[in-house]
Amino acid sequence: MNAMKVAIGGLRGFVRARRRLRGPRRPTWNEQVETFASFLRVYGLLAPVLPVAIMRKEMVKVLAPSESERLAHYEPTDAGGVDAEWIRWNGADNGAVFIYLHGGGYVIGSTNTHRDLLSRLARSTGISVLAPNYRLAPEHPFPAQLEDALAVYRWVRGRGVPASRIVLGGESAGGGLTLATLMTLRDAGEPMPAAAVLLSPWVDMTSDTESFRTNARYDYINARSLDRFAGYYLGVRGDRSNPLASPVRADLSGLPPLLVHLGGAEALLDQGLQLTRNARDAGVSVELDVWPDMIHAWHVLANVIPEGQQAIDRVARFARARIATARVLSAVT
């Protein structure tokens, strides 16, 4: 039995006793969800001091392989010079592509850590999912990640997939990277994807907000760990107000329709709400879903938290609808 399972087993008894005395920590949390959330929160408190190599190794172990993960089809590929992986289910629509940029603070994460989410996304959308293993900081600081995301998008289009059949998205840092990619494409005058999906996006490296404090007892994300990741990403003297690093400070006009998912119990709630207001003020169509009791990026925890699959299904409906709408609009124009 690995150390993670031992730790979760030890926490379960504590959580059970606490729930008997005080009830659930959040209204919809059952014992399993609360135990796992408590484990992640403890792990998050260690993130500011754990070596990067250990964080990368341990992230793979957070969840055991799911049935969804085992049944999907995987195909490694070189996507414009970027190591990537196709994830598909039988009968997938190969003429449409969901490019998914994983989270992990630009420092950790890969297709290996996100395979459960990626396989669920491929099954729910019914289209091909392409997940890049973009370069990570601190070995490769900004703008390496943005360069890789742009290379992958351009490679997909170069294979004959029209922009109107592409959806771009990601969670946490992957959400911020999604926005940076969109803004760069817009400024370069390149065709934009049909839509973009931002799941618990990290969009402001300059400061924390009130939700960091009000949700500190629930969430595994904290200001100290994000400060460390931002330092790795931008360097000690990097400009954290750079709109490509902190899109909440950017001109968001001209972006495609967005779906924003936020957890009511997550530290980044206020950032996501501010981003939504800014985008709408800039004339961008934004569908906002706030899931009241969810912690940061609960989609990657769908093997443990039922709302994770529900949220992925919502993403799939949005992606399919936007691709269909973009296809109709391109046909009439």
Quick one: pLDDT band at residue 333, thresholds 50, 70, 90?
low
> What range does the domain containing 38 cover?
1-46
- The order of strands in the sheet holding 127-132 is 73-79, 82-88, 127-132, 93-101, 166-171, 195-199, 258-263, 286-291
- Catalytic site residue from 172, 200, 211, 225: 172
pLDDT > 70? residue 99: yes
172 in catalytic set: yes
Quick: pLDDT tens for 134-146.
999 999 999 999 9
pLDDT > 80? residue 61: no
pLDDT of residue 1: 42
In a domain, 56, yes or no: no
266 in catalytic set: yes
- Catalytic site residue from 34, 85, 266, 307: 266
For 272-322, give the DSSP string.
HHHHHHHHHHTT--EEEEEETT--TTGGGGTTT-HHHHHHHHHHHHHHHHH
Lowest mean pLDDT among 57-66, 95-104, 219-228, 259-268: 57-66
What span, in angstroms and rounded, lies between the C-alpha atoms of 135 and 140?
Answer: 6
pLDDT > 90? residue 307: yes
In a domain, 59, yes or no: no
Residues ≥6 apart with Cβ < 8 Å to 205: 226, 230, 233, 234, 240, 241, 245, 246
* Same-domain status, 87 and 137: yes
For 256-267, give the DSSP string.
PPEEEEEETTST
Q: Which CATH number is 266's domain given?
A: 3.40.50.1820
296 in catalytic set: yes
- Catalytic site residue from 261, 296, 299, 307: 296
The model's pTM? 0.95
* Same-domain status, 185 and 119: yes
In a domain, 51, yes or no: no
pLDDT of residue 4: 65
* Same-domain status, 288 and 237: yes
